[in-house]
């Protein structure tokens, strides 16, 4: 195995991914178990077809606004670590460290653990294996950890194959819901279930919590920018194509669930996708969708195992984490220690909580960082405007990340990115405001679970300063 200390150079990742890989990683990072089960949670908060579909459309628009922001940031700073790099360069290494700390202990591993539990439930339903949900979830996470240690191409191929099957499963659900299930109630009902008020706004915010959990994940594609052949072009395009495709699929699923079950029926059905397929094709249909959901969740887990360890790798390359986490395999050029660390943490969380508990504690933290990353774009735009008038900026700037051998002090943004956010600053401000509204609504609705995530995140600050002191000592 090769390490930075052994070679005398910063770790180097192999660039093997293109536009198709980027698009599949974006869609794979978003589509997991949420779309198959979270419509039930949405219908419990808002009670009319218009509000239910509106929540999924609003979530899609927030995700698209986020994809625009991350596409420009990827064009400006196309290096390994993605969101970690944006926060480090916009604010301070301490902010980036706390983000990576929260990613490892709360958001990424928590999201993977929650989805692994859903996979285990459907896998046990199909196979009737005499194992608990936690054991099945742990075994699935361990298997994907091993696969991704064989190389980025192996991990990407598994991820892309599972992603194609996921898309076909969702398309099948939409077609069956439209063609083989009779409409249970008229969709043209009063738009609001209560007069316009703060209560309605709070309910919509609470409805957006499961929606945004289902939409979350577009940002993880930025983690592997250092392994893309042309990250400035392919990552930006992959983000936009992938998010637009997911919006179409999610709104289609939400529509057929409301059409087949009615708004009231959806609020009483914890497994709406299975209920729709059961109405269409009986128990055979329910078995087919259970198999599809299991594959979908496995694809999400594969994507998370492929992307997130690159953040811990970047932290270690910046000397903000254990040096061994930056260790690469000599044969596959992947950060196998970081991948193993990600897998181990996800397995521990899968054994310690339920899906709903993990969901609330993930969302309350995740969207703090989404909003802060939106603010980072304002910082980079302002710096670019200021540097445009100086002679040193006329030749442009080039990103030098952990993978190209130059020091972190030379990292700076591209003065003329290939993609710019349309409608900035209005669209960016709307994205930031929406993210923090979701955080406030989630904390207000689920204070106990949310506080667990927030306390773990804040614990990263003293850890950062201890780490810096320890390194100097």
CATH number assigned to the domain comprising residue 186: 1.20.1740.10
Note the pLDDT of residue 60: 92
| Reported confidence tier of residue 356, pLDDT bands at 50, 70, 90 | low
| pTM for the structure as a whole | 0.78
- pLDDT of amino acid 96: 92
221 neighbors 239 (Cβ within 8 angstroms): yes
CA-based radius of gyration for the chain: 22
Does 6 map to a domain? no
| Rounded Cα gap, residues 217 and 399, in angstroms | 24
User: Is 191 a domain residue?
Assistant: yes
Cα 309 to Cα 84, 100, 235, 286, distances in angstroms: 12, 10, 18, 35
Average pLDDT, the chain: 81
**Residue 175 sits in which domain range?**
14-472
- Greater confidence (256 vs 471) lies with 256
Tell me whether residue 167 is in a domain: yes
> What is the per-residue DSSP string for 145-206?
HHHHTT-HHHHHHHHHHHHHHHHHHHHHHHHHHHHSS---S-S---S-SS-SSHHHHHHHHH
The answer to whether the peptide bond before residue 425 is cis (omega within 30 degrees of 0) is yes
Q: Is 60 exceeded by the pLDDT of residue 170?
A: yes
Mean pLDDT of 319-346: 84
Residue 244, pLDDT > 80, answer yes
- Report the Cα–Cα distance between both ends of the chain, in Å, rounded: 28
Read off the tokens for 451: 């506080």
| Percent of the chain's residues with pLDDT above 90 | 22
Tens digits of residue pLDDT in 398-429 = 444 444 433 343 444 555 566 788 889 999 99
What's the confidence (pLDDT) of residue 407? 39
> Does residue 1 carry a pLDDT above 50?
no
Could you tell me which of 400, 402, 397 has the C-alpha nearest to residue 317?
402
Say if 9 falls within a structural domain: no
Evaluate if residue 277 carries a pLDDT over 90. Answer: yes
Q: How many domains does the chain have?
A: 1
Q: Which two tokens stand for residue 18?
A: 């293109």
User: Which residues have CB under 8 Å from 1's CB, separation 6+?
Assistant: 327, 328, 329, 330, 336
Per-residue pLDDT tens over the stretch 35-74: 888 888 899 888 889 899 999 999 999 998 998 898 888 8
Give the list of residues 6+ apart from residue 193 with CB closer than 8 angstroms, or none: 46, 47, 48, 51, 200
Q: Residue 97 above 80 pLDDT?
A: yes
pLDDT for the residue 398:
44
Task: Reply yes or no on whether the pLDDT at 321 is more than 80.
Answer: yes
The encoded tokens of residue 296 equal 């979908």
Residue 414 or residue 24, greater confidence: 24
Q: Which residues contact 399 (CB under 8 A, 6 or more apart)?
A: 76, 77, 78, 79, 411, 412, 413, 414
Q: Is residue 384 part of a domain?
A: yes
Q: Determine which of 15-29, 128-142, 236-250 has the lowest per-residue pLDDT on average.
A: 15-29
Per-residue pLDDT band at 155 (split at 50, 70, 90): low
| CA 327 – CA 335 distance, rounded (Å) | 6
Residues whose CB is less than 8 angstroms from the CB of residue 264 and which lie 6 or more positions away in sequence, other chains included: 43, 47, 185
Structure token pair of residue 311:
């953040």
Q: Is residue 5 part of a domain?
A: no
4, part of any domain: no
pLDDT(232) > 90:
no
Q: Is 1 within the bounds of a domain?
A: no
Average the pLDDT over each of 132-136, 158-162, 176-180 and give the range with the smallest value.
Answer: 158-162
Position 7 scores a pLDDT of 40
Q: Which of the listed ranges 323-332, 385-394, 395-404 does the model predict with the highest average pLDDT?
A: 323-332
């Amino acid at each position: 195995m090769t390490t930075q200390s052994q070679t005398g150079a910063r770790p180097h990742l192999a660039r093997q991914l293109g536009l198709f890989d980027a698009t599949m990683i974006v869609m794979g990072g978003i589509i997991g178990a949420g779309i198959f089960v979270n419509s039930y949670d949405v219908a419990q908060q808002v009670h009319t077809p218009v509000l239910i579909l509106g929540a999924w459309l609003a979530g899609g628009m927030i995700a698209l606004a986020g994809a625009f922001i991350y596409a420009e940031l990827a064009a400006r700073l196309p290096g390994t670590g993605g969101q970690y790099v944006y926060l480090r360069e916009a604010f301070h290494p301490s902010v980036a460290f706390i983000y990576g700390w929260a990613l490892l202990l709360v958001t990424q591993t928590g999201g993977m653990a929650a989805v692994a539990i859903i996979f285990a439930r459907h896998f046990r339903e199909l196979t009737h294996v005499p194992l608990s949900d936690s054991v099945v979830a742990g075994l699935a996470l361990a298997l994907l950890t091993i696969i991704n240690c064989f190389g980025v191409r192996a991990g990407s191929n598994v991820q892309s194959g599972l992603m194609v099957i996921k898309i076909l499963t969702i398309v099948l659900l939409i077609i069956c819901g439209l063609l083989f299930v009779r409409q249970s109630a008229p969709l043209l009902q009063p738009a609001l279930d209560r007069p316009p008020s703060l209560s309605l706004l709070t309910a919509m915010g609470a409805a957006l919590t499961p929606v945004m959990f289902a939409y979350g994940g577009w940002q993880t594609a930025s983690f592997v920018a250092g392994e893309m052949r042309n990250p400035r072009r392919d990552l930006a395009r992959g983000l936009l194509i992938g998010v637009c495709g997911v919006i179409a699929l999610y709104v289609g699923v939400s529509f057929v669930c409301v059409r087949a079950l009615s708004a009231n029926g959806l609020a009483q059905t914890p497994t709406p996708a299975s209920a729709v397929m059961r109405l269409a094709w009986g128990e055979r249909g329910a078995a087919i969708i259970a198999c599809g959901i299991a594959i979908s969740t496995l694809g999400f887990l594969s994507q998370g195992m492929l992307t997130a360890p690159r953040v811990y790798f970047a932290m270690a390359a910046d000397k903000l984490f254990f040096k061994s986490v930056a260790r690469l395999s000599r044969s596959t050029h992947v950060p196998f220690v970081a991948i193993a660390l990600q897998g181990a943490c996800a397995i521990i969380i899968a054994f310690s909580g339920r899906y709903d508990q993990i969901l609330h504690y993930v969302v309350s933290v995740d969207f703090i960082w989404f909003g802060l990353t939106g603010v980072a774009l304002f910082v980079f735009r302002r710096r670019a405007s200021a540097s445009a008038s100086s002679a040193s900026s006329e030749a442009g700037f080039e990103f030098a990340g952990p993978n190209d051998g130059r020091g972190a002090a030379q990292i700076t943004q591209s003065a003329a990115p290939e993609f710019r956010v349309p409608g900035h600053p209005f669209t960016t401000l709307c994205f930031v405001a929406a993210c923090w509204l979701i955080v406030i609504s989630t904390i207000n609705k689920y204070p106990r679970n949310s506080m667990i995530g927030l306390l773990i995140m804040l614990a990263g600050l003293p850890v950062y300063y201890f780490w810096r002191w320890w390194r100097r000592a």
